[in-house]
Amino acid sequence: MALSAKQGEHRAEAVRVPEPTQTLELVRARAAVQMSARRLVERRSIARGLLLLAVVVLGLSVARAGLGRVFVPGWWRQW
């Protein structure tokens, strides 16, 4: 304990953070690898969901317009 400017007043020392152990470092490294893998899975899931949504919207648009208006006869050939 340290004495302050006032006589007789005692104050506790500042809190000291202990040095990290090898086990703690290993746990942190494993957690970082797991988080990286989880982020990759999440990105893939989001991409798949957006692609599925785009296909559904396109399908609904074509269905609403009608196949005859979207794919008119001869659309694949150049005249």
C-beta of residue 2 within 8 angstroms of C-beta of residue 10: yes
**In whole angstroms, what is the distance from residue 72 CA to residue 61 CA?**
15
Residue 46, pLDDT score: 98
CA dihedral 70, 72, 77, 79 (to 10 degrees): -130
pLDDT given for residue 67 in this prediction: 83
What pLDDT is recorded for position 64?
93
pLDDT along the chain (79 residues), means of 10: 61 87 95 97 98 97 88 70
Whole-number pLDDT of residue 73? 77
Q: What is the mean pLDDT of the chain?
A: 87
Domain assignments of the chain as residue spans, ordered by start: 22-57
Give the integer Cα–Cα distance in Å for 34 and 40: 10
- Output the six-digit token pair for 61: 């648009």
